[in-house]
Amino acid sequence: MRIFNWERRWKMPGRWGILGASFLARGACGSRTRENPKETPGAPEESPEPCLASKCQDETVGKKDTLRGRWLATRRTTHELWLIGKALVSTRHVVQAHIIPIRRCNLDCAYCNEYDEVSAPVPLEEMHRRIDKLAELGTSLITISGGEPLLHPELDDIIRRIKHHGRVAGLITNGYLLVPERIERLNRAGLDHLQISVDNLKPDDVSKKSLKVLDQKLVHLAEFADFHENINSVLGSGVNNPEDALVIAERARSLGFTSTVGIIHDGSGQLRALGPVERNVFERIMDMSKGSYSRFNHFQRNLAEGKPNDWRCRAGSRYLYICEDGLVHYCSQQRGWPGVPLARYTPADVRREFRTRKPCATHCTVSCVQQTSYIDHWRAPQHLDPLPSPRHALDREAAESLVQIETESGD
């Protein structure tokens, strides 16, 4: 399952908001399933009334408008501008990594292929080793994803380790376990960015990540969080009411958050053009952010129209996906390539993958990798082919599936 997220910068979120919120935008909140969300301690009751944006516009919003809130945002922006400058100067280091501390999730969204019901948390010492290694590879932004990362009992210590290395720390969560005390703990750990996907206004058989359920969580975030928040809404296959995305985006705006919209594709992971109603919603959301960075990015419009994109995917180099087993993958949708342990990943691997073309690029919808790779769009053509994956070396069917992507893309 693939999601393309299109970022709207409602408010100044810090410069990484241009890249950062999009970096966060990919992640666990993306792909397939069964029926009801599992019983989870701390899971929220539905909000008494679904909050429609028009009703909430005048609500008082907390920390972001204080002197301290503005100072924190300025400090975050300055740090992130420096990291972007560093990424532009040298291509020899990783820019962003997604890291999975736990594969388990407390929900079971019908479109998700990135969770299970049983996995144990990765031990803290092992997470420390992986973060240390990412820092050694020069990684600027480390985003914690899942599964549901808030289920990891030592998440705060994982964030602290990222901040210990002076890197930007991001978190993708379904938000169900957020309460004021948990938000304050994330503040103290030093979290920089958080993203929640809100898929619809009311729970249905596809997703329980609903504004009706999560609105109170968003209000708590607005009141208590020191970090930047991005709210992702979705369009496409399995979304019953496309207009929900508009209401969710407006609600995010009213609370002072940034907002992105993702395109969900069908269960086979294929790119499919949006229908007329969805296109209309997509265009209306685009119109809301005239003058933003996104207007210069044609990726999302091509994807909405089902057209291919011409770009150089720098996965395995500027972007890494580290699974719960500590293996490096191109991204969440190409797990198995290169599929080698992070502990053995070297600067030479980073340089090789920088010049390795990815046959699946043409119809790729993994926005965080696209945004990361855009930094180097103008340089270094790719002429190498992907190395055989150790995991798939003996798996003929899987190996052929990568070839099939290559054929389809015509790349």
> Using CB under 6 A as the criterion, which residues of the chain lie in contact with ligand SF4 when the complex forms?
28-30, 105, 107-109, 112, 114-115, 146-148, 174, 313, 315, 330-331, 333-334, 358, 360-361, 364, 366, 369
Nearer to ligand SF4, 258 or 356 (CB): 356
Instruction: Reduce the DSSP state of residue 283 to 3 states and report it.
Output: helix
Do the beta carbons of residue 391 and residue 290 sit within 8 Å? no
- Give the CA radius of gyration of the chain: 20
Strands, E assignment, 121-242: 141-144, 168-173, 193-197, 228-236
Nearer to ligand SF4, 26 or 76 (CB): 26
Strand arrangement of the beta sheet that strand 327-329 belongs to:
3-8, 258-264, 228-236, 193-197, 168-173, 141-144, 96-99, 319-322, 327-329, 338-341
**What's the min distance (Å) between Cβ of 172 and ligand SF4?**
8
Nearer to ligand SF4, 284 or 351 (CB): 351
**What's the min distance (Å) between Cβ of 375 and ligand SF4?**
14
Q: Which of 366, 365, 411, 358 is nearest to 389 (CA)?
A: 358
**What's the min distance (Å) between Cβ of 206 and ligand SF4?**
10
Q: What is Dmax (Cα atoms) for the chain?
A: 60
Residue written as token pair 């069908």: 266
Residue written as token pair 């393309």: 4
CA dihedral 27→33→39→44, nearest 10 degrees, is 50
**What's the min distance (Å) between Cβ of 173 and ligand SF4?**
8
**What's the min distance (Å) between Cβ of 175 and ligand SF4?**
9
Question: Cα–Cα distance between 253 and 231 in angstroms, integer?
Answer: 9
**What's the min distance (Å) between Cβ of 247 and ligand SF4?**
20
**What's the min distance (Å) between Cβ of 53 and ligand SF4?**
23
Q: Measured between alpha carbons, how far apart are the two ends of the chain, in Å?
A: 21
Question: Cα–Cα distance between 295 and 285 in angstroms, integer?
Answer: 12
Nearer to ligand SF4, 174 or 254 (CB): 174
Nearer to ligand SF4, 96 or 289 (CB): 96
Question: Cα–Cα distance between 405 and 390 in angstroms, integer?
Answer: 19
Nearer to ligand SF4, 159 or 364 (CB): 364
Nearer to ligand SF4, 16 or 330 (CB): 330
**What's the min distance (Å) between Cβ of 107 and ligand SF4?**
4
Nearer to ligand SF4, 174 or 230 (CB): 174
The strand pairing partners of 324, in sequence order, are none
Copy the structure tokens of residue 79: 């740090």
Nearer to ligand SF4, 72 or 97 (CB): 97
Do the beta carbons of residue 249 and residue 261 sit within 8 Å? yes
**What's the min distance (Å) between Cβ of 185 and ligand SF4?**
20
Nearer to ligand SF4, 109 or 131 (CB): 109
> Residue 392 contacts by C-beta under 8 Å, 6 or more apart in sequence?
336, 337, 339, 398, 399, 402
**What's the min distance (Å) between Cβ of 386 and ligand SF4?**
9
